Amino acid sequence: MKTVTFTKMEDGTEEDYKFLSEHEAEFCHALPDRIMDALENLRNSLSGYKIDRLEHSLQTATRAERDGADIDWIVSALIHDLGDDLAPLNHDSMAAAIIKPYVREECAWVLQHHGIFQYKYYADKIGLNPEERHKYKYSPHFDAAVKFCRDWDQTSFDPEYDTFQLEHFRPLVEEVFRRPAWDDTHIKA
Ligand SMILES: [Fe+2]
Ligand SMILES: [Fe+2]
């Protein structure tokens, strides 16, 4: 396989960096496949609930879709716990970082803060403040985060719910993660 000529970045030529840019474009084009694989891996993630983390993610996205949410919300709901494996103590920030270049700012903000908004539903049982979310009360995205957690996330632990399977969401994952990154038409929409 072709590689660059350098062993230190400062020695790279224009040709090397042109080659790497093309290589990176191909790699980014395959991002939806890696997102789907990472979602599939959630089957082996945090246990103890009545359903595994993939089922929870699918159910959250299914509820968003049935609620009439747009594609940015559905895909955000689908990946909102993707950080569980590698960033268990700040999984919300990791999910937000993954999707931030491709969706409306409000969706990325809600993913980044959903952990604290979820406190509402259980923090009193573990000695934390259920109203911690109020530190964000002046955020323009506060109401969206309330809805995300109330209607889609905190309700999605039900093994009896009629949840869409992962393949149902593949076209949406492909559409979102193949958008041009940081494009104002999507992130400022
Ligand atoms: Fe979460
Ligand atoms: Fe969740």
Ligand nearest to C-alpha 115: 1
Contact 123, 129 (CB under 8 A): yes
Mean pLDDT computed over 121-129: 97
Using the predicted structure, report yes or no on whether residue 23 has a pLDDT greater than 90: yes
Q: Which two tokens stand for residue 39?
A: 């979602």
- How far is residue 16 from each of residues 19, 29, 67, 102, 168, measured CA to CA in Å? 5, 20, 48, 28, 40
69 dihedral zone (left: phi>0; alpha: psi -120 to 50; beta): beta
120 CA to middle of ligand 2, Å?
Answer: 13
Q: Work out the percent of the chain whose per-residue pLDDT is above 90.
A: 97
pLDDT band at 65 (very low <50, low <70, confident <90, very high): very high
138 CA to middle of ligand 1, Å?
Answer: 22
56 closest CA partner among 135, 175, 163, 142: 163
pLDDT band at 66 (very low <50, low <70, confident <90, very high): very high
pTM of this prediction? 0.95
Q: pLDDT value at position 45?
A: 85
Q: pLDDT value at position 189?
A: 80
Ligand nearest to C-alpha 56: 2
Which alpha helices (H) appear in the chain, and where do they start and end?
A: 14-29, 31-41, 53-66, 71-79, 91-99, 105-118, 142-147, 170-177, 184-187
Using the predicted structure, report yes or no on whether residue 10 has a pLDDT greater than 90: yes
Query: What are residue 39's phi and psi, to 5 degrees?
Result: -65, -45
91 CA to middle of ligand 1, Å?
Answer: 7
Ligand nearest to C-alpha 156: 2
Domains of the chain: 12-187 (1.10.3210.10)
Mean pLDDT computed over 64-69: 98
Mean pLDDT computed over 45-60: 94
Q: Which residue has the tokens 């983390």?
A: 53
Surrounding ion ligand 1 within 5 Å at CB are 81
120 CA to middle of ligand 1, Å?
Answer: 13
Mean pLDDT computed over 33-42: 97
End-to-end CA distance of the chain: 41
The total of other beta-carbon atoms located within 10 Å of residue 172's CB is 17
134 CA to middle of ligand 1, Å?
Answer: 18
